[in-house]
């Protein structure tokens, strides 16, 4: 009982003799129930594409309008700049989503 | 030889990582829960299922970091051992375990029943129990076991040798096959 083979056989037998067969018994279900919620993965949908296109169009129109107005009349430039800014913001937001 | 029916571990892992596929993960859990829970029982019989459950939740969260260069089961053992250590540290259980004892001074336990084998194993240090379980029960090589337990190969071998000595001292008269009593 002193050589390595017998030693190994002894320890293996001891550990396996004490080993009980483990039925699932709901274990898998408990694991699944304790998993965190699925990671949300946003995909670029058609809706996002429409919003992005509309936003880019608004930004372009705003930029042209601003250029045409020549920035001479502050009152007319301000809303156009706001439209352009909103358009850019919308485009960036859609692209980021 | 261990035959796996259905998709391989690698295929299932890919489905989980790419699609968050819970059915694929459930298949992995069903495939490996026996070995993982058996290992967890060796580490801490009382909290084995909680430890194993924590290990599988960790696996779900970090499955994308499994490199696939070894068996998934070994990686799950690693997570199980980490979960055990975290719980043990939290509960300060390690302070309650028996310190390093000379195998020659150990009094043999009464090993007439299975639970007594468990009691003998419980008298080993955590690292020794883990090393013996991986090398003798799960059949890992010393290299694989050292990687699972995140320790140098020499340290692993020391734990195995010391654990064997202690176990033999504790179970001196025990005949696991029941042949000597006949």
Q: Quickly tell me which residue has 């998709």 as its tokens.
A: B7
Q: Which of A15, A30, A38 sits opposite B132 (nearest CB)?
A: A15
Instruction: Return the closest-CA partner of residue B32 out of A18, A22, A30.
Output: A22
Q: Closest approach of chain B CAs to the CA of A69, in angstroms?
A: 51
- A14 and B117 within 8 Å at the Cβ level: the answer is yes
pLDDT given for residue B1 in this prediction: 46
B25 contacts A32 by C-beta, under 8 angstroms = yes
Phi and psi for A40 in degrees, rounded to 5?
Answer: -80, 125
A1 has a pLDDT exceeding 50? no
B57 contacts B36 by C-beta, under 8 angstroms = no
pLDDT given for residue B145 in this prediction: 95
B141 has a pLDDT exceeding 90? yes
- Mean pLDDT estimate for chain B: 83
pLDDT, tens digit (0-9, with 9 covering 90-100), for B5-21: 688 999 999 999 998 89
A73 has a pLDDT exceeding 80? no
What's the ipTM?
A: 0.73
- Maximum average pLDDT range among A22-26, B89-93, B119-123, B143-147: B143-147
A54 contacts A90 by C-beta, under 8 angstroms = yes
pLDDT, tens digit (0-9, with 9 covering 90-100), for B23-59: 999 999 999 999 999 999 889 888 899 999 999 999 9
pLDDT, tens digit (0-9, with 9 covering 90-100), for A75-87: 666 777 787 788 8
Q: What would you report as the CA-atom Rg of chain A, rounded to the nearest whole angstrom? A: 34
Cα A31 to the chain's mean position, in Å?
Answer: 24
- B33 and A34 within 8 Å at the Cβ level: the answer is no
- Mean pLDDT estimate for chain A: 74
Q: Which of A7, A36, A41 sits opposite B164 (nearest CB)?
A: A7
In B8-37, the residues whose Cβ lies within 8 Å of chain A are 20, 22, 25-26, 29-30, 33-34, 37
- Is the CB of B79 inside 8 Å of chain A's CB atoms? no
B4 has a pLDDT exceeding 70? no
- B114 and A18 within 8 Å at the Cβ level: the answer is yes
- A11 and B132 within 8 Å at the Cβ level: the answer is yes
What average pLDDT does range A51-72 have in this prediction? 74
pLDDT given for residue B177 in this prediction: 58
Q: Closest approach of chain A CAs to the CA of B118, in angstroms?
A: 7
What average pLDDT does range B80-100 have in this prediction? 74
C-alpha span between B77 and B150 (Å, rounded): 11
How large is the greatest C-alpha to C-alpha distance in chain B, in angstroms?
58
């Amino acid at each position: 009982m002193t050589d390595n083979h017998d030693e190994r056989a002894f320890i293996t037998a001891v550990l396996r003799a004490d080993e009980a067969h483990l039925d699932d018994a709901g274990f898998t279900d408990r694991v699944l129930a304790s998993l965190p919620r699925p990671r949300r993965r946003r995909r670029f949908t058609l809706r996002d594409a429409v919003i992005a296109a509309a936003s880019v169009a608004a930004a372009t129109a705003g930029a042209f309008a601003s250029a045409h107005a020549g920035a001479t009349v502050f009152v007319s430039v301000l809303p156009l700049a706001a439209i352009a800014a909103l358009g850019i913001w919308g485009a960036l937001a859609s692209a980021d989503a | 030889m261990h035959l796996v029916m259905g998709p391989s571990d690698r295929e299932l892992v890919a489905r989980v990582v790419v699609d968050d596929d819970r059915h694929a993960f459930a298949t992995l859990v069903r495939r490996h829960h026996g070995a993982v829970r058996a290992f967890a029982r060796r580490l801490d019989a009382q909290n084995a299922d909680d430890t194993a459950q924590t290990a599988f939740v960790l696996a779900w969260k970090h499955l994308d970091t499994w490199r696939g260069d070894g068996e998934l089961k070994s990686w799950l053992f690693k997570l199980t051992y980490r979960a055990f250590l975290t719980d043990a540290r939290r509960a300060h259980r390690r302070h309650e375990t028996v310190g390093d004892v000379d195998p020659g001074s150990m009094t043999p336990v009464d090993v007439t029943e299975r639970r007594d084998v468990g009691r003998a194993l419980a008298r080993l240090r955590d690292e020794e129990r883990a090393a013996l379980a991986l090398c003798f029960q799960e059949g890992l090589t010393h290299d694989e076991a050292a990687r699972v337990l995140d320790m140098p190969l020499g340290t692993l071998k020391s734990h195995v040798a010391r654990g064997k000595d202690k176990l033999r001292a504790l179970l001196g008269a025990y005949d696991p096959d029941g042949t000597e009593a006949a």
